[in-house]
Amino acid sequence: MPAYMISQVRVTDQEKFQSYLAQTQPIAAKFGARPVAMGAAAKTLNGANDGHQMVFVIEFPTMAQLEAWHHSEDYKAIVPLREEGSHQHMVAYEAQGVPAQFSLS
């Protein structure tokens, strides 16, 4: 089953954040990652916005590959750059399919 990493981001240092993005993409690709969506200019529909400016959705072939990426030495090496350039809330979800009651057809 695919797994999705969703990251809500507030950039604090544009240069460092861009450097982090440039380095994390090829690292994640080694684990089969593919970008699904990137959104900016959030519109709050319910609750309060925590201050994030954008969101990234990245698909991995499996949760094991997502976790392997997140715990890899290559990724750990750029975590300080991520933390210096942004505040991020990252979560991972394993796909479970779509229940019939949510079908739009």
* Structural domains of the chain in order of their starting residue, each with its CATH number: 3-43+51-89 (3.30.70.100)
What local confidence, expressed as pLDDT, does residue 50 receive?
78
Give pLDDT tens digits for 26-53: 999 999 999 999 988 778 888 887 778 8
> Of 69 and 100, which is predicted with more confidence?
69
Instruction: Note the pTM of the prediction, 2 decimals.
Output: 0.86
Q: What Å distances lie between residue 102 and 4, 18, 40, 58, CA to CA? A: 19, 37, 26, 23
Question: What was the pLDDT predicted at 99?
Answer: 67
**Do the strands 34-40 and 86-94 form a parallel or antiparallel pair, or are they unpaired?**
unpaired
